[in-house]
Amino acid sequence: MDRRNLLATAGAAFVLPAMRTRAATPPPTNPHMLWYTAPAKEWVEALPVGNGRIGAMVFGGTATEQLQLNEDTLWAGGPYDPANPRAHDNMAALRTLIFDKKYAEAEAFANANVMATPLRQAAYQTVGSLMIEMPGIAAASAYRRELDLDSALAETRFTANGATYRRRVIASPVDQVVAVHLTADKPGAISAKLRFTCPLKSWQAAAEGSDMLVLSGRNNDHFSIPGALRFEARLKAIANGGRVIGAGDSLTIEGADAVTLLIAMATSYRRHDDVSGDPAAITRGQIATAARKPFARIAADATTEHRRLFRRVGIDLGGTPAASLPTDQRVRQSETVDDPALAALYFQYGRYLLICSSRPGSQPANLQGIWNDKTSPPWGSKYTININTQMNYWPAELTALPECVEPLIRMVSEIAQTGAKMARDMYGARGWVTHHNTDLWRATAPIDGAKFGLWPTGGAWLCTHLWEHYEYNPDPAFLSRIYPILHGASLFFLDTLQTDPETGHLVTNPSLSPELGHGRGSSLIHGPTMDMQILSDLFDQTVAAARILHKEGDTTRQFAAARARLLPMKVGKEGQLQEWPYDWDGSSAELNHRHVSHLYGLHPSRLIDMDRTPALAAAAKLTLEIRGDKATGWATAWRINLWARLRDGERAYSILRFLLGPERTYPNLFDAHPPFQIDGNFGGTAGMVEMLVQNHGETIELLPALPSAWPTGSVRGLRTRGGCTVDLAWRDGRLESARIAGRIAGNRTVILNGKRRTIPVGPGRVVTLGAGQFA
Ligand code: FUC
């Protein structure tokens, strides 16, 4: 089969056979496998499964197995309105202090008068754990545990007492249960005690009938806001042979040949303003339905549904002997040993994690996706929307997971409701606003402290994801649905942008550049560069949407006029891109700060571009040099994307290597901020796409930042705007073939090494290009 045929049939085979393996060692049989030779001791060694809504961390213990459990609506508190009633009356005075450059005073004033009540948002909680105790298992040997990203199944195998034990765990998006299968190759070898543990304040566990165990309780309070949710985790044990006995707070299994455990979890959460659900009825129903199927059927159905999404994209960056080692060893040595397949695994892991933490109907992926073992996790494991939540969704459209964006779109539409009240109460403005965080309750007020939270542009940034979803999947009905959200976000800024007394431009005030002090007593400022960039995009996208939907009117013209009056980007005296309206970059206390907010214009936005705005691109590059390559997990991942946009594949790759190393990647491949924060995983996946394919409007640039470390490889199924799919294969650093297919008739300009070619795309049309066609 030649390469073209191979690419053409690649829909069936999810990975192209390695074009070139670098050594005689055969590549691992499954390039999608994380595997280990010992049980997890720490939580960041355990392996995540999830169906978008519920999930488990599988420790793979032998005599004691722990499944740490999550349900994505189990958060602290209840519906609440955090608006500060004093905010509106004090806004004008605050703006004056900022325009007068009395920043420390402004910050103290803001903290005293405009911040959220309570000052913190609610935290995401854990359900607890299911403990499976098999005290009869003594010394285990031939141990292996693994997670197969392609089947979404976690498995533990070992030998003990002369039997081989096998435990499989899968979270089913079809049956809404976490299903566990315990087997042994000796009859009657499975005896176990099952019990729940829970770190929440109010809970109980009790056997129900002979084969069910129910953990039920209430979520924790959030400051003065009482826990308003009831939750339940319901376990049913189905044994083949032997028996199951329910008594007290545990289930006992005696002498079974095999056991299926079904775990359902639910809370009474229905919406941010409705907690009237019945978790007992929900979990009972889910268990009753799932119990009609054997484990093999549940697992097969779950895998099929997972693969529907997962197999849309395949990647092969070549292999080395390192690929045959256990995953934790590969991470440990990844900065010194060549292991391109680890990067490919990390790439697919990002896609796996998104599929498992964000599916239609679920909550969006939070700071930890859905996986959290604490009641008070770092940053509440909530939604930080000054970079982190956005980064979670960077790979979604690019790697063919548009369905996974649905929870984000729904969250934004809910914030547009709670945020409309906030806009009125806090600013006396139309439209809607949210600041730098939100939670399950869709809280929108500025939190934590003015220097972090008083940033009104979080919702505007989220709107760009809605627009992007439309651009990748053009559907006028979807655009009509989101248009009021974009319109409302733009309207808020129309009402609240202030005229900068020094320049006459329109600026945000109060605001800040996340989350960096400018060295003049605070971070508070008017018109930080990032705001101006985000609002340029927001206004442009709202106007474009109005045009497409034939809804242009007076307000649209006002949006366009406001856009034209925004404070423009500036290059400072060192040649850097200015983060603030003044040339203060050098005086910030933290030159290497993790946030690179003003580089939003270079990535994810395209306001700065090497071809169209070379001077700004050069300034952004200098800013990146000054900030440095090493940062927290997500900030490291962002730098990969940024250097890729600057077409510097070697730099992007060297930062990727740091991201994949043990300082930024835990043994289970979770991103280390540290601590664990999932955005770095997603940002890493997106960054690798940016190295291979970049898309802006109707241009598609092939191999813009291919590093020499990946001389030969292929990628299949990437998406670009307008419903296009791109497959690529390259050899010895040179494009071998690109295959571009589009669902919608139009043209695309394809760029390779600066050379352009325009091709037609459309239904049924597939264009295949080789390097020779870019003369
Ligand atoms: C922002 C970042 C931190 C962290 C937190 C969740 O505040 O500055 O690094 O990622 O979000």
Q: pLDDT (tens digit, 9 = 90+) per residue, 221-277?
A: 999 999 999 999 999 999 999 999 999 999 999 999 999 999 999 999 999 999 999
Distance 515 CA to ligand 1 centre (A): 8
What is the rounded distance in angstroms from the CA atom of residue 13 to the CA atom of residue 19?
14
CA distances from 205 to 198, 227, 234, 266, 669 (A): 9, 19, 10, 15, 33
CA-closest residue to ligand 1 atom 8: 515
Q: Is 388 in the pocket of ligand 1 (CB under 6 A)?
A: yes
What one-character-per-residue DSSP string does 517-537 give? --SSSSSEESS-HHHHHHHHH
Separation between Cα atoms, residue 669 and residue 655, nearest integer Å: 16
Ligand 1 centroid–CA 380 distance in Å is 11
Q: Which residues contact 550 (CB under 8 A, 6 or more apart)?
A: none
Q: Exposed, middle or buried: residue 625 (CB in 10 Å: 0-12, 13-18, 19+)?
A: exposed
What φ, ψ does residue 753 adopt, rounded to 5°? 50, 40
> Which segments of the chain have a pLDDT < 50?
1-28
Ligand 1 centroid distance, CA of 377 (Å): 13
Contacts of 289 (CB under 8 A, 6+ apart): 175
Task: Check if the beta carbon of residue 472 is closer than 8 Å to that of residue 689.
Answer: no
pLDDT at 29: 64
Q: Is 448 in the pocket of ligand 1 (CB under 6 A)?
A: no
CB 309 within 8 A of CB 403: yes
Cα of 625 from ligand 1 centre, angstroms: 21
Residue whose CA lies nearest to ligand 1 atom number 11: 384
Indicate which residue's Cα is closest to atom 10 of ligand 1: 388
Entry field: residues in the chain: 775
DSSP 8-state assignment for residue 178: E
Alpha carbon distance 75, 443 (integer Å): 13
DSSP state at residue 14: S
Is the distance from the beta carbon of residue 695 to the nearest atom of ligand 1 less than 6 Å?
no
Q: Which of 366, 379, 386, 523 to mutate to test the pocket of ligand 1 (most atoms within 8 A of CB)?
A: 379
- Residue 379: CB within 6 Å of ligand 1? yes
Our answer on whether the CB atom of 367 is closer than 6 Å to any ligand 1 atom is yes
Question: If you measure from the C-alpha of residue 462 to the centroid of ligand 1, how many angstroms do you get, rounded to a whole number?
Answer: 16
Per-residue pLDDT reduced to its tens digit, 18-43: 333 343 344 446 899 999 999 999 99
| Pocket mutation for ligand 1, best pick of 388, 436, 454 (most atoms within 8 Å of C-beta) | 388
Atom from ligand 1 closest to the CA of residue 679:
10
366 Cβ below 6 A of ligand 1: no
Q: Which two tokens stand for residue 131?
A: 């403990």
Predicted pLDDT of residue 586: 87
**Closest to 433 measured CA to CA, from 403, 404, 453, 408:** 453
Tell me which of 392, 677, 678 to substitute to probe ligand 1's pocket, judged by most ligand atoms within 8 Å of the beta carbon: 677
The Cα 176–Cα 620 span in angstroms is 46
**Identity of residue 469:** H
Question: 592 alpha carbon to ligand 1 midpoint, in Å?
Answer: 15
State residue 17's pLDDT score: 35
Pocket test for ligand 1, best of 124, 384, 387, 461 (most atoms within 8 A of CB): 384
Beta-strand (E) ranges in 589-733? 693-696, 699-702, 713-720, 724-731
Does the C-beta of 541 come closer than 6 Å to ligand 1?
no
Residue carrying the six token digits 């299994």: 253
Ligand 1, atom nearest to 632 Cα: 9
Which long-range contacts (C-beta less than 8 Å, at least 24 apart) are formed by 185-190? 186/162, 187/241, 187/257, 188/241, 188/242, 188/255, 188/256, 188/257, 189/161, 189/163, 189/165, 189/255, 189/257, 190/134, 190/165, 190/239, 190/242, 190/253, 190/255, 190/256, 190/257, 190/258, 190/259
Ligand 1 centroid to Cα of residue 461, in Å, is: 16
pLDDT on residue 590:
85
Q: Which residues contact 285 (CB under 8 A, 6 or more apart)?
A: none
pLDDT tens-digit map of 401-425: 999 999 999 999 999 999 999 999 9
Q: Which residues contact 686 (CB under 8 A, 6 or more apart)?
A: 350, 391, 394, 395, 398, 399, 637, 641
Ligand 1 center–CA 481 separation, angstroms: 31
Task: Compute, in angstroms, the gap from residue 715 CA to the centroid of ligand 1.
Answer: 32
Q: Is the CB of 121 under 6 A from ligand 1?
A: no
SS3 for 65?
strand
Say what the pLDDT of residue 20 is. 39
- 565-613 tens-digit pLDDT: 999 999 999 999 999 999 999 877 688 999 999 999 999 999 999 999 9
Does the predicted TM-score (pTM) go above 0.85? yes
User: How far, in Å, from the CA of 437 to the mean position of ligand 1?
Assistant: 10
Taking the centre of ligand 1 as the mean of its atom positions, its distance from the CA of residue 361, in whole angstroms, is 26
Q: Which of the listed residues 634, 676, 681, 682 should we mutate to test ligand 1's pocket, taking the one with most ligand atoms within 8 A of CB?
A: 634
Rg (CA), the chain: 26
Distance of alpha carbon 731 from its chain centroid, rounded?
Answer: 31
Report how far apart, in Å, the C-alpha atoms of 675 and of each of 214, 315, 363, 519 are: 32, 28, 22, 27
Dihedral (CA of 647, 650, 653, 654) sign: negative
451 lines ligand 1 (CB under 6 A): no
Tokens of 252: 């006992």
What integer pLDDT is reported at residue 286 of this predicted model? 98
- Going from the Cα of 676 to the center of ligand 1, the distance in angstroms, rounded, reads 12
Q: Of 285, 281, 255, 263, which is closest to residue 213 (Cα–Cα)?
A: 263
Q: Which atom of ligand 1 is nearest to the CA of 367?
A: 6
> Distance between CA 233 and CA 559 in Å, rounded?
49
Q: How far apart are the first and last CA of the chain?
A: 27
Q: Looking at the DSSP assignment, which residues form a beta bridge with residue 181?
A: 168, 260
Q: Is 338 helix (H, G, I), strand (E, B) or coil?
A: coil
Q: Is 632 in the pocket of ligand 1 (CB under 6 A)?
A: yes
CA–CA distance, 686 with 693 (Å, rounded to integer)? 10
- Say if ligand 1 is within 6 A of residue 515 CB: yes
Confirm or reject: Cβ of 594 under 6 Å from ligand 1. yes
Q: Whose CA is nearest to atom 1 of ligand 1?
A: 384
